[in-house]
Amino acid sequence: MANIGFVGLGIMGKPMALNLIKGGHKLFLNSRSGVSVELTAAGGTACVSAKEVAQKADIVILMVPDTPDVDKVLFGANGVAEGLAKGKTVIDMSSISPIETKVFAKRINELGCDYVDAPVSGGEVGAKNAALTIMVGATQAAFDTVKPLFELMGKNITLVGGIGDGQTCKVCNQIIVALNIEAVSEALVFASKAGADPAKVRQALMGGFAASRILEVHGERMIKRTFDPGFRIELHQKDLALALAGARALGVSLPNTATAQELFNACSADGGAKSDHSAMVKALEKLANHPVAK
């Protein structure tokens, strides 16, 4: 049993923390929205600050929305850095800037602590089922130390490379996911406007080369109009902004990523920022003046 700190207990963080508790670890918890009764009833300990979490834990995990949030949790007043002692480990499982990740890691390393970036994919369902894909940037030694914790939260765990490479991999993941959502959206809008039953079209496509998890899960959401968030549009916008900023810095063109971002922007402008990212289809429905399903 290890003493684990966990900061950030939202849609993803809460079930991830629960799985660590179920795995037999003692958890010290903090979140800006508070610590739920479910977590404390399971055995977690609520802390008043990220500093207190770091003081009580040997390994501190962060799961917060964006780069500035990680910066604040680590280095703000009563942040993680103030509570660290030499030999501890910080794991950032948020999805943030690969460039800033390297800066954060250097500052934590200077305190005598290891730093691991380990963003995840799999959404709320993957978090609840301990089936996340975890993309890791770390030294081999640090990875070996924390891998048993990852195995309680995910199934596909890969040491991609050094610090920042996990975040780079996550950006790649978000590019692919966004473009797949866009493709499924276009196909279902086209099918529906042509007079075909989109549910039957989806069923047929699931047996062919076009089959994908996006078609399976998000295609169903588009047809059933179930857009409660597993992963919010505003968070995918953030991830694609990282992709496009990185592309600009690298001199790489990502034209279809830019198009997907504009469709998310349209949804957000129409009040859908907190909808599931499968609701991208609504932007294409407006362009076609035709819904996938009524």
- Enumerate the active-site residues: 170
- 3-state SS record for 2-53: CEEEEECCCCCHHHHHHHHHHCCCEEEEECCCCCCHHHHHHCCEECCCHHHH
CA separation for the pair 183, 76 (Å, rounded): 41
Instruction: For residue 117, count CB atoms less than 10 angstroms from its CB and return exposed for 0-12, middle for 13-18, buried for 19 or more.
Output: buried
C-alpha distances in Å from residue 180, one per residue of 17, 263, 270, 278: 30, 13, 22, 10
Q: Residue 83: name the closest of 163, 2, 3 by CA.
A: 3
State which amino acid sits at residue 207.
G
Q: Which residues pair with 26 in a beta bridge?
A: 3
State which amino acid sits at residue 30.
N
Residue 134, helix vs strand vs coil: strand
Asked whether the beta carbons of 117 and 101 are under 8 A apart, the reply is: yes
